[in-house]
Structure 1
Amino acid sequence: MARNIEFNEELAIQKAMQVFWKKGYNATSLRDLTDAMQINSSSLYNTIGDKQELFVRCVQLYTNLRKQDWEKRLASERSPFSTLVDYIHEAVNIIINGEFSCMAVKSAFEVATNDQRVKEILVQDDQRAYQFLHDLIKNAMDQGEISNDEDPALLADYFNSTWTGWYESYILHKDPIKIKRMAEYFIKQLSK
C-alpha cells in the first residue's frame, strides 16, 4: 500500500503567500500556486478551496505576521522614538529595495475594492497599524522624545497614509532619493 504524503497546510499557505506577494492576485495563476505549494490542483481544492479562498488566507497570514512584528517592537526595551525611526527607515527600505514591497498595500489596490473579506482583513490590519504607531508616538511623547504639543492620533494617521503615498510615488517614479528625503523630513518634523 502506498503511503500518503502528509500535507502541511500552514507551510503551503506560506509558500502561496510568497507567490501572491510577488506577483499580485491577478497575475498569479493556479499553476503558479500549486507549483510553489508542491501540490496538485485537486489537493488545493480539497483542502483549502479555490484561488480566492487561498488568497484570503494568505492575506490573513500576512497581516498576522505584521501584528506580531508590531507587538514585538512595542515590547522592546529600546526608546520609542528610536523604534519609530527604525520602523520608518525599514519602511523606506522595503519600498525601494524590497522584492515584494507591501502585500497589504498591493492587496488594497488590487483586490479589496471588489472583495469584502479581503477589505475587512485589511481594515483590521490598518487599525492595528494605526494603534501601533499611536502607541509608539504616545510613548515617545511620554518620554519627552516628541513634543507634547503633537497629537499622537493625527501623527499615526498621517504616517499611515504618508507611507502608502511613498509606496505609490516609488512605483510611479522609481526615485529612491525622493522617498528617503520625505522620510527624513517626517522624522525631522517629529523630533522638533
Structure 2
Amino acid sequence: MARPKEFDEHRAVDAAMRAFWSAGYEATSTQDLCAATGLGRSSLYNTFTSKRDLFDRALRHYMTTKNAPLFDILDSDAPARQRIADILHRTAHAPETEPAGCLVVNSIVELAPHDAAARELLATDGERRLDALTAAVESGQRAGEIAADRDARAIAHFLTATISGMRVAARGGADHATLTAIADTALACL
C-alpha cells in the first residue's frame, strides 16, 4: 500500500516557484529546493521526478496565479485606459513580500534562447497576455480613449515591453517612485 503524502503538494510548488523566482533556474540547487519546500531530497524527486519537472510546474503555477488578476483587470468593464493604467501601476507597486522582478521575464532571458520547451511555454503565455492587451487597446480605440490611428497590436507590444522592463528595473533595485514614473510615461504615450 502506498504511503500517503505528508505534505501539501501545492505549497511545495509555490515554495519552489519563489525559490526559482528569486535565483533563477540554474542557480537554484536541489538543496535550495529542499530548504524552500521543507522536503527531503527523496520526497522531492519521488513527487516531482526532476528539478526541471518542478520548475515547469512552478512556472505554470506562476503564470496561472499572476495572470489571473491581470486578466480580471483587462476583462473588466472599466474604461480601457483605466484598465491599462491599473496594470502598469500594479506592476510598479508589486508586493514587497514577493521576490523582485518576474519569473516569466527571468525565464525568457535565462532559458528561452536555448530551451525549446521553455521557449514554447513562454511564447504561449506571452501571446495570451498580448491578445488580452490588444483587445483592451482596441476597446479604448473604439471608445476614443486611445488614438485609433495607431496599430493596437504594436501598442500592446509596447505595453508588454514596458511591463517587462519595469520588472527588470525592479529586480535591479528601482523603487516605487521610479517604477510609477515609468508607468505614467507609458500612459502618456497612448
TM-score, structure 1 length as denominator? 0.84
Contact 1:96 1:170 survives alignment (8 Å):
no
Matches of residues 94-173 of structure 1 in structure 2 within 5 Å?
94=94, 99-169=99-169
Q: Deviations over 1:14-33 (max 9, x none)?
A: 11101111122222121121
Contact 1:141 1:148 survives alignment (8 Å):
yes
After TM superposition, give the deviation of residue 169 of structure 1 in Å.
4.9
- What stretches of structure 2 of length at least 5 have no aligned partner? none
Matches of residues 36-47 of structure 1 in structure 2 within 5 Å?
36-47=36-47
How has the CA–CA distance of structure 1 residues 156 and 96 changed in structure 2, closer, same or farther, with 3 Å as cutoff? Answer: farther
CA distance in 2 between partners of 1:11 and 1:95 (Å): 19
Aligned to 2:12: 12
CA distance in 1 between partners of 2:94 and 2:172 (Å): 16
After TM superposition, give the deviation of residue 163 of structure 1 in Å.
2.8
How has the CA–CA distance of structure 1 residues 19 and 171 changed in structure 2, closer, same or farther, with 3 Å as cutoff? Answer: closer
Matches of residues 72-87 of structure 1 in structure 2 within 5 Å?
72-87=72-87
Q: Percent identity?
A: 29
Contact 1:95 1:170 survives alignment (8 Å):
no
Q: Comparing 55-64 with 98-107, which one deviates more in the overlay?
A: 98-107
Q: Which amino acid aligns with 1:14?
A: D
Q: Which amino acid aligns with 2:79?
A: S
CA distance in 1 between partners of 2:13 and 2:50 (Å): 13
Q: Tell me whether 1:32 sits opposite 2:26 in the alignment.
A: no
Q: Deviations over 1:52-103 (max 9, x none)?
A: 1111111111112233223311332322211111111122234999632111
How has the CA–CA distance of structure 1 residues 148 and 96 changed in structure 2, closer, same or farther, with 3 Å as cutoff? Answer: farther
The alignment partner of 1:137 has SS state of helix
After TM superposition, give the deviation of residue 6 of structure 1 in Å.
3.1
After TM superposition, give the deviation of residue 10 of structure 1 in Å.
2.1
Q: Comparing 170-179 with 48-57, which one deviates more in the overlay?
A: 170-179
Matched pairs, number:
188
TM-score, structure 2 length as denominator? 0.85
- What stretches of structure 1 of length at least 5 have no aligned partner? none
The alignment partner of 1:28 has SS state of coil
Query: How much is the aligned-residue C-alpha RMSD, in angstroms?
Result: 2.5
Q: Comparing 123-132 with 174-183, which one deviates more in the overlay?
A: 174-183
The alignment partner of 2:15 has SS state of helix
Q: Which amino acid aligns with 1:182?
A: I
